[in-house]
Structure 1
């Protein structure tokens, strides 16, 4: 398609604005044939025809390249724009008119010129871009430090896919403008994920959404879909700046801007005719690119706490598993599981025949999972047999408590306070995600209640310790109650909890002494 566009543009400019003659451009696989007719036509290989009338004789202008872009886009059947994303696109009243001693204008011009020479984008200095960069540096330095931390994980993943699709590696910065590298980011109109796909656009690129899974939040699948989308845009426009603009506002708006600009196809020449958000979108991308490329010069450092991409690996699961079951068995924190597997909306990895649902884990835990896979599934069978019942009838009404969510709360933290599972809290409160709001009221049926705001301590019956011989086990790094139970015959996780008065697995720390009785 890029070949078709280039030939059409060459033909258009060679005959001049007022000398457009009628030609048919016939598109067949890898070939283009030109035939002369009275009116201009674009004949697609599937039989579709676009008629380009020679309207100059009527006193009207027809920008053939813009019309051709429209037709190619319709032919691609990609109509849904990705938009309304964007916390890194500054509003007009947010841009500071400021000077920075660390970045005089002449130095910025030199650096932008160097970036322009190294990339296929048209990175040109202009005063507005300068003020966006300086506003970021003045107001958002700490935010970029956080972004650089997240980028340690996501950028290698992006670069791998971008390279596969022959897309400039600098396009990885687009995900910052779109989502601030938050895979569960959701805009006010429903665009979701690192690359902010709308529902229909996601479906078009095979990103499925169900009650359990939103593949728009899957870092691997969504990145591949974004690459396919960007590659198709580049085929239409033949220009990465215009592809960026079309990614944001849709190709139709870019085509309109080309027409309103007299047929110009340079982004900077059509920018004033683009929607305001899109007009600021590409400069936001350039500003982000600049700050990442010159982070050292501006003393912006990434934190070192996030997992690196190479420190993770993926396995395909063979039955439904919950994050809580994985935490209980191989001792991977639920927060880590959520970070590595954000596509699972309910912290549950479903198992569906003929669908390949995968689990991403730190490399150090992959071996532990594979070595104990059958036992983990058996544990999940036992746990599911307990949990797949309606709200327990044995729970008395007066044992129910209401908890009001406070700042800093998350479901894992609340579940520990009450000695219950995250999945039960979600089930009791008909929750489809783990998101909480300050002041939100949660119904809890606690097993054991600590001193917690908005809750009353409940009386519990303590099981007496068994009388008999026992040994002391010292908890090692990486241990879980389940892994410890596997070392002894006929000992369950609940046994160890009861014998050692453990109500939260979080209390299991290296060096902890546990009593293990012989059964």
Structure 2
């Protein structure tokens, strides 16, 4: 009897080995990442708007025998432990390659393209991979995915955090807003977590696992990542195909999706052996490393940079999800990434910093009878600014006792109009360049244009500044903050911004400014040191007006318009 049972078992095993694609591809068996310690006592975090999950972390044996369980999300605490690991060091990122390559003429065609006409672009993508792949592979390993799937981000965005497609897909993993929302990625006026390399990678891992659970094949899962699960499922039903290569022969998938998997496999073939394909001199970027600190709502990023002894550009680079000059208002606690090793210094300085110096915001408690227009006039703001800052869905319904956040210093008690007539703030005459500083970053920190900074210091347009170098950051004996002047390359704007047209009038210098994407009335008023109510008056705009990109605004910088 025992011999018969063994014979039947052997026959079943041989049958399984003889049919279908390799099991390593068809049914992925996650390998245990020995660098990550799982805590089985932690409960899985809730999954927003997704299918109901099992409420226990499966054992490795269960994962191996039940591939449908691999879409369990890991708790945030586990992610924190993973992100606390040290990332691989210099040179080419170390990845455990687990997906088998597929020989196909389309794959070979893309290998030829990436090593010929597209070699410069591919070289840059390889360079950027050094910054992100170590972090991404840690996350994919923690989620139980093949680590080499991280190179999908090379196909999606070239590892560009700020990549934005024609369909408004954003970030390194190119999530559209609806899919990002399903996987917990927030996008509002203050942050776009699709650009966050940690959160978006974790969301991508969960999404890929859901797709693999649905299709049971990584080729089809990747195609669905590009085209959407519904489209791929519909194409499979219409054609009767059971694999990607058969499915991609007809017209049931868009050309972009037909090329998506071959592009990934061609990229994977090159990154496994870059020297063989002529990429033996790639200067890989250093792996992304950071400390994490917590701050209160609406904390100025420039303040965070100062407390860490770094520059604003570095803080922005570590927190690409932040769209504006501060952390999102209305959040009691927000996690910010700072340069590695600076967390202890930041915590010490932040604890000693008075609350009114942490941001440029005032909290106003709504009183009975208050209206949005009355509050706006009291503080010399526009209603549009207040609505945008507080994300008010119905500005007409203000609840007594609720708190509004206003773009003013915490200790401001009267309108800004009186303050705007005071002398401009005094700036130090010189600034000593520190490591990591850039001309653009220094100019922005002092509220001046990069063009002025270069002009005052007689810098060549392409000159590099050095640590220890002294730069003049204000002109005149009083070292007053410079106002925008006609003919400057940026007219007080950031480098690359639309140039303002200026001419002298009897009432003062008249400037026509073209609104850029993301501009607000408050941002424009602060940039040109004028009151928002004046901007509204000069342009015959209502308090409820919202700026649109391309719109022209007339500004009077040396005096108020009398008419």
TM-score by length of 2: 0.49
**What corresponds to 1:129 in structure 2?**
107
Q: 1:266 and 2:243 equivalent? A: yes
- Asked if 1 retains the 8 angstrom alpha-carbon contact of 2:295 and 2:336, the reply is yes
- Asked if 2 retains the 8 angstrom alpha-carbon contact of 1:395 and 1:445, the reply is no
Distance 1:372 1:127 in 2: 60
- Asked if 1 retains the 8 angstrom alpha-carbon contact of 2:299 and 2:359, the reply is no
Q: 1:216 and 2:194 equivalent? A: yes
Q: 1:286 aligns with which of 265, 268, 271?
A: 265
Distance 1:322 1:45 in 2: 39
Shift in Å, 1:130: 1.6
Q: 1:365 and 2:342 equivalent? A: yes
Shift in Å, 1:289: 1.3
Matches within 5 A, 1:21-40: none
Q: Secondary structure at the match of 2:134?
A: helix
Distance 2:359 2:181 in 1: 36
Shift in Å, 1:197: 1.1
Shift in Å, 1:220: 1.5
**What corresponds to 1:394 in structure 2?**
421
**What corresponds to 1:402 in structure 2?**
none
Could you say if the C-alpha distance between residues 302 and 339 of structure 1 is closer, same or farther in structure 2, counting changes exceeding 3 Å?
farther
User: After superposition, what is the alpha-carbon deviation per residue over 1:462-500, rounded to whole angstroms, capped at 9, x for unaligned?
Assistant: xxxxxxxxxxxxxxxxxxxxxxxxxxxxxxxxxxxxxxx
**What corresponds to 1:314 in structure 2?**
292
Q: How many residues align?
A: 318
Could you say if the C-alpha distance between residues 216 and 149 of structure 1 is closer, same or farther in structure 2, counting changes exceeding 3 Å?
same
Q: Secondary structure at the match of 1:359?
A: strand
**What corresponds to 2:279 in structure 1?**
299
Asked which structure has the greater CA Rg, the reply is 1
**What corresponds to 1:445 in structure 2?**
528
Q: 1:164 and 2:142 equivalent? A: yes
- Asked if 2 retains the 8 angstrom alpha-carbon contact of 1:197 and 1:216, the reply is yes
Distance 2:145 2:246 in 1: 24
Q: 1:242 and 2:220 equivalent? A: yes
Q: Secondary structure at the match of 1:348?
A: coil
Distance 2:103 2:234 in 1: 25
Q: Which runs of 4+ in 1 moved over 6 A?
A: none
Matches within 5 A, 1:171-250: 171-250=149-228
Matches within 5 A, 1:21-170: 119-121=98-100, 123-170=101-148
Q: 2:310 aligns with which of 326, 332, 336?
A: 332
Q: Secondary structure at the match of 1:315?
A: strand
Shift in Å, 1:438: 5.8
- Asked if 1 retains the 8 angstrom alpha-carbon contact of 2:298 and 2:359, the reply is no
Distance 2:344 2:528 in 1: 36
Could you say if the C-alpha distance between residues 132 and 438 of structure 1 is closer, same or farther in structure 2, counting changes exceeding 3 Å?
farther
Q: Secondary structure at the match of 2:420?
A: coil
Structure 2 unaligned residues grouped into runs of 5+: 1-15, 20-50, 54-67, 73-94, 363-406, 410-414, 425-437, 453-472, 475-479, 485-492, 501-512, 515-523, 531-556, 559-563
User: After superposition, what is the alpha-carbon deviation per residue over 1:133-180, rounded to whole angstroms, capped at 9, x for unaligned?
Assistant: 111111233333332332222112211221122111111011111111
Q: 1:252 and 2:230 equivalent? A: yes
**What corresponds to 1:90 in structure 2?**
none
- Asked if 1 retains the 8 angstrom alpha-carbon contact of 2:191 and 2:322, the reply is yes
Q: 2:301 aligns with which of 292, 302, 323?
A: 323
Q: 1:277 and 2:277 equivalent? A: no
- Asked if 2 retains the 8 angstrom alpha-carbon contact of 1:145 and 1:303, the reply is no
Could you say if the C-alpha distance between residues 272 and 413 of structure 1 is closer, same or farther in structure 2, counting changes exceeding 3 Å?
farther
TM-score by length of 1: 0.53
Shift in Å, 1:390: 4.3
User: After superposition, what is the alpha-carbon deviation per residue over 1:105-144, rounded to whole angstroms, capped at 9, x for unaligned?
Assistant: xxxxxxxxxx9x96335x3223332221111111233333
Matches within 5 A, 1:419-438: 436-437=496-497
Distance 2:359 2:319 in 1: 24
- Asked if 2 retains the 8 angstrom alpha-carbon contact of 1:346 and 1:434, the reply is no
Distance 1:248 1:382 in 2: 41
Q: Secondary structure at the match of 2:212?
A: helix
User: After superposition, what is the alpha-carbon deviation per residue over 1:271-305, rounded to whole angstroms, capped at 9, x for unaligned?
Assistant: 1232111001111111221221122332344435x
Distance 1:242 1:234 in 2: 8
Distance 1:285 1:434 in 2: 37
- Asked if 2 retains the 8 angstrom alpha-carbon contact of 1:230 and 1:247, the reply is yes
Shift in Å, 1:436: 4.7
Shift in Å, 1:377: 5.3
Shift in Å, 1:411: 7.3
Name the one with the larger helix percent. Answer: 1
Distance 1:201 1:434 in 2: 33
Could you say if the C-alpha distance between residues 143 and 387 of structure 1 is closer, same or farther in structure 2, counting changes exceeding 3 Å?
farther
Shift in Å, 1:375: 2.9
